Amino acid sequence: MLFVVTGGAGFVGSNLAERILSEGHSVRIIDDLSRPGGKVIENLDYLRKKFSAKVKSKEFEFVQKSVTDFDAMKKNLKDADVVYHLAAQTAVTTSITNPTHDFQTNAAGSFNVLEAARQVADNAVLFYTSTNKVYGNMPGMKLDENKTRYGFAENKYKSGIAEDFPLDPESPYGCSKYVADSYFLDYHRTYGTKTIVFRCSCMYGEMQKSLEDQGWISWLVGRIISGKKITIYGDGKQVRDILHIKDVVDAVMKATEKINITKGQVFNMGGGIKNSISLLELMDFVQSETGKKPIYEFADWRLADQKIYISDTSKAKKVFGWEPKVTKEEGIRRQIAWESRV
Ligand SMILES: NC(=O)c1ccc[n+]([C@@H]2O[C@H](COP(=O)([O-])OP(=O)(O)OC[C@H]3O[C@@H](n4cnc5c(N)ncnc54)[C@H](O)[C@@H]3O)[C@@H](O)[C@H]2O)c1
């Protein structure tokens, strides 16, 4: 089987590619290597080395192209059995400073992938990673607050946010991801395309090349270990449900295997209530594990930063039998080990 992974040099894509190649399938990564910091090339080098025999036999290919190039998408999606579309501009902050680039990559680029696949690989599974940002800041949500975190005050959210929560994207990133989210779901209705959409909360784990404004678990853990100063935007009580990459990959593969029941559906994906954590709690935990005291200062809230977001993942459990297995403690310990490697 041929799996095409757009954004496959990135964090989620390279982990997925590693699993697929290990299971004996072929992978074609399409990535323009534009993630700021230039480090995603290291993920690609790791995969090329680990699967050098497959590189030689062309069962593992890398195509350096942008998803904004429709003809290149048509050419490279031909023969795909599965397309994992992960390529994106991923930072809310960058989307605010350059909304045009964000729109071109996330909205127009995603449309290109979808439409190219419809034209040249119309039986393929087409998977898209959307985001919790499509729900926006959830105005009117009643919150609790204690010394370390925010919580949902209303009982109806005790399991988190489900897929029927009103869509109200905030920030250009929220909007551009929402556009693609809608197109992927609608292509199933209109054309019968076998699409699946995951609205993801915070994912973390090995091969994440974090930046200050994207990949906060990896960023904070790395800064604490190296004794560098951290800026906390807001009060540090922001809560997210964190999902380890091992669970992400399991979920994507399971949803793909069960395409007959998952097609045309959207799933909220995260670590759920049990794996929710605030910035302050994360820093405390890392200190207790490493003995290193975080050095930090506070700054103003960033635009479109939700005070709390926790996914209700019960639909994924019901429909394709998935639930997160890696606990936040185990996952953060793995992150500490990853960030500490030389
Ligand atoms: N990491 C998270 O916590 C998180 C949360 C919610 C949603 N998502 C979504 O999941 C997907 C994967 O995220 P990630 O964390 O692996 O991000 P990442 O930045 O590590 O990977 C994205 C990859 O896309 C590539 N890319 C960017 N623009 C491109 C273009 N025009 N053409 C081709 N490639 C391009 C980048 O070079 C990078 O390698 C993204 O769609 C993101 O929006 C991520």
227-231: average pLDDT: 97
Question: Which residue minimizes the CA distance to atom 27 of ligand 1?
Answer: 88
CA–CA gap between residue 173 and residue 193 (Å, rounded): 25
- Tell me the pTM: 0.98
241 lines ligand 1 (CB under 6 A): no
> Which protein residue has the closest C-alpha to ligand 1 atom 15?
11
Residue nearest to atom 18 of ligand 1 (CA): 10
Average pLDDT over residues 211-220: 95
Residue 190 backbone phi and psi in degrees, to 5: -80, -40
Cβ–ligand 1 contact at 237 (below 6 Å): no
Instruction: Say if ligand 1 is within 6 A of residue 5 CB.
Output: no
pLDDT 10s digits, 48-81: 999 999 999 999 999 999 999 999 999 999 999 9
Q: Which domains does the chain have, with CATH numbers?
A: 2-340 (3.40.50.720)
Instruction: pLDDT band for 168, please (50, 70, 90 cuts).
Output: very high
Helix, strand or coil for residue 231? strand
Per-residue pLDDT tens digits for 76-113: 999 999 999 999 999 999 999 999 999 999 999 999 99
Of all atoms in ligand 1, which is nearest to the CA of residue 66? 32
pLDDT value, residue 54:
97
List, for residues 318-338, the tens digit of each pLDDT value.
Answer: 999 999 999 999 999 999 999
pLDDT at 304: 85
Active-site amino acid positions: 173
Average pLDDT over residues 274-285: 98
Give the pLDDT band (50/70/90) at residue 342: low
Integer Cα distance of 78 and 205 in angstroms:
31
Query: Which residue has the CA at smallest separation from atom 35 of ligand 1?
Result: 87
Closest CA to 340 of 258, 227, 264: 227
Distance 219 CA to ligand 1 centre (A): 16
Ligand 1 contact via 44 beta carbon (within 6 Å): no
Q: Are 181 and 197 in contact (CB under 8 A)?
A: yes
pLDDT in tens, 172-185: 999 999 999 999 99
Residue 300, pLDDT above cutoff 90: yes
Distance of CA 58 to the CA centre of its chain: 27
